[in-house]
Amino acid sequence: LQYTKSCKTQMNIISNPALDHTDENGVNNEINYSINSLVMKSPKPSCLESVSNILYDDRGDNHIPKHYLGEALRALGLNPTEAEIRLLLADLNRVERLSMQQFQVIFERLNRQKDYVVPAEEFIDGLRVFDKDGNGLIPATELRHLLTTLGERLTDDEVEQLISEFEDKKGMIMYEDFIKAVLQR
C-alpha cells in the first residue's frame, strides 16, 4: 500500500520495514512494518487511512481488526488508556473490523481530548491524603501499592524505575517533587 507524499513528510521513518514471508520463488508476500518504525508528528486526518492501512489492514479491504485499535491509535501519536480502549471496543461489540470512517471518528475524538493535561496540583492533592505528618513525604511502599493496584496499573519494574531516584533512606518520597518530575518526562 502506498501513502501520499504529504503523509510521508509528516513521518519520521526510524527503521526500514522488514521484508518477511518470501515464498519459494523469492517473492515477498507480506511487508511487516514495526509499529515503532513510524513516529507520527502531528498526523493529519487525511493521513490516517494511509498509516492505518500500512500498519494494520491485513486484508486490503480498508478495515482494521478491532483488536488493533489501541496499537493503531498509539502508532498515530495518541496515548489512550486501556480503560478507554475497552470502552471504545464495547461500543463496537458486534464489529470485528473497523472501517476507516469508524477509525477516523475515534481518532479525531481522542485527538481533541489529548490536549487536556491534568494539572500537577490534582495529582499532588491526591497524594496529600497519604501525607500523615503534613511534611510533604509519603511512604514509598504506599506509592508502590497505589501505582501497581489502581487505575492504569504499572508493573513492579516500571514502578521501581519511576520512584527509585526519589526514595530517601527512610523509605519516604517527597511527592510534590515526584509528581513534577514524572509529568515533565
Let me know whether 102 and 138 are in one domain: no
Choose the final residue of a domain: 113, 130, 149. Answer: 113
pLDDT of 102 above 70: yes
- Residue 165: Cβ within 10 Å count: 10
CATH number of the domain residue 41 falls in: 1.10.238.10
- Within 8 A by CB and 6+ apart from 65, the residues are 56, 58, 96, 97, 98
- Residue 4: Cβ within 10 Å count: 13
Let me know whether 20 and 81 are in one domain: yes
Let me know whether 37 and 94 are in one domain: yes
Choose the final residue of a domain: 64, 82, 113. Answer: 113
- Within 8 A by CB and 6+ apart from 163, the residues are 140, 143, 144, 147, 173, 178
The more confident residue out of 109 and 148 is 148
Closest CA to 55 of 69, 41, 42: 69
Using one digit for the tens of pLDDT, what is the confidence trace for 16-42?
333 333 445 554 434 333 333 333 344
What's the whole-model pTM score? 0.44
Number of domains in the chain: 2
Choose the final residue of a domain: 72, 94, 113. Answer: 113
Using one digit for the tens of pLDDT, what is the confidence trace for 67-92?
888 888 888 878 888 888 888 888 87
At 53, which amino acid appears?
N
Minimum mean pLDDT range among 30-34, 141-145, 177-181: 30-34
Let me know whether 17 and 74 are in one domain: yes
Let me know whether 87 and 133 are in one domain: no
Closest CA to 103 of 59, 39, 139, 56: 56
First to last CA, the chain: 35
Let me know whether 69 and 102 are in one domain: yes
Range of 21's domain? 5-113
